[in-house]
Structure 1
Amino acid sequence: MAPAARAAYILRPAQSAQVYLYMEPVDMRKSIDGLAALVELEMELSPALEAIFVFCNRGRDKIKLLYWERNGFVVWYKRLEKQRFQWLRDADFVYQLRTGRDLNQLLDGLNIWSQKPHRSIQFDSVT
């Protein structure tokens, strides 16, 4: 079976949801409580906003999204096997994306500031 040209995401936040990038590297061992604390204490926002909060590790090969959905938090996690997420280095520690489309492009590997995607890779086994 041929791979899909574009990834399908389970993530279906409200159309009106804001998207905030936390620009400092984050320890990916943080779970919901740790990420929610970063949102509240560092970003000075409520983690229960109708918003998606995006975190990336120092190596830029892992990304986590945190958002509130009706009655609980959702954490979405992606680890790249090769390549890196495009991430601004000299930005304020909070950056607000203009649209959800920008978030999908970021997750697809595009540099939302220059528009170049990750290459697709395939493998038969993880062991």
Structure 2
Amino acid sequence: MLIDYSKVDQIYIVCGKTDMRKSIDGLASIIQNQYNMDVFGNCLFLFCGGSRNKYKALYWEGDGFILLYKRLENGVIQWPRTKEEVRNISQQELRWLLEGLSIEQPKAIKKVKPGH
């Protein structure tokens, strides 16, 4: 990706299916109007279409938006389809997702909070 996502504050995926015909304004409108989130923060927002072989990433760079679009030639993305929600994911979960793995790895060692 052109964006160094290790430097963003938050990574969000919009679960479910997104109309991939939407451009910057349409995707930014989803974030602002449907989820009441600040699209101008240091956040990366990811969207996936119905076929799960394409995704878009939206990022505010301070003077304008960057919109990345990727179409896989082989395989699909294991995109969460359970709810229409925005989900905050870690950098590790993003790597899994972009490598074709589920963001919920049952054998992965989970981080715990002290005292739990």
Instruction: Report the TM-score when normalising by structure 1.
Output: 0.75
Query: Secondary structure, in 3 states, of the residue corresponding to 2:81?
Result: coil
Summarize the Cα distance change of 1:14–1:82 in structure 2 as closer, same or farther, 3 Å threshold.
Answer: closer
Question: Which among 19, 43, 46 is matched to residue 51 of structure 1?
Answer: 43
Runs of 4+ in 1 over 4 A off after TM superposition: none
Which amino acid is the alignment partner of residue 57 of structure 2?
L
* Sequence identity percentage: 37
Which amino acid is the alignment partner of residue 93 of structure 2?
D
Q: CA deviation at 1:83?
A: 1.4
- Alignment of 1:67 with 2:44, yes or no, is no
Looking at structure 2, the residues matched to 12 and 109 of structure 1 have their Cα atoms a distance apart, in angstroms, of 19
CA RMSD across the alignment: 1.7
CA contact 1:14–1:50 (8 Å) conserved in 2: no
**Residue-pair matches, total:** 106
**Residue 81 (structure 2) aligns with:** 89
- Alignment of 1:76 with 2:68, yes or no, is yes
Looking at structure 1, the residues matched to 61 and 8 of structure 2 have their Cα atoms a distance apart, in angstroms, of 13
Which amino acid is the alignment partner of residue 44 of structure 2?
I
Question: Which among 19, 25, 33 is matched to residue 33 of structure 1?
Answer: 25
**Residue 102 (structure 1) aligns with:** 93
Q: Which structure has the highest helix share of the two?
A: 2
User: Which consecutive residues of structure 1, in runs of 5 or more, have no partner in the other structure?
Assistant: 1-8, 116-127
Instruction: Report the TM-score when normalising by structure 2.
Output: 0.81
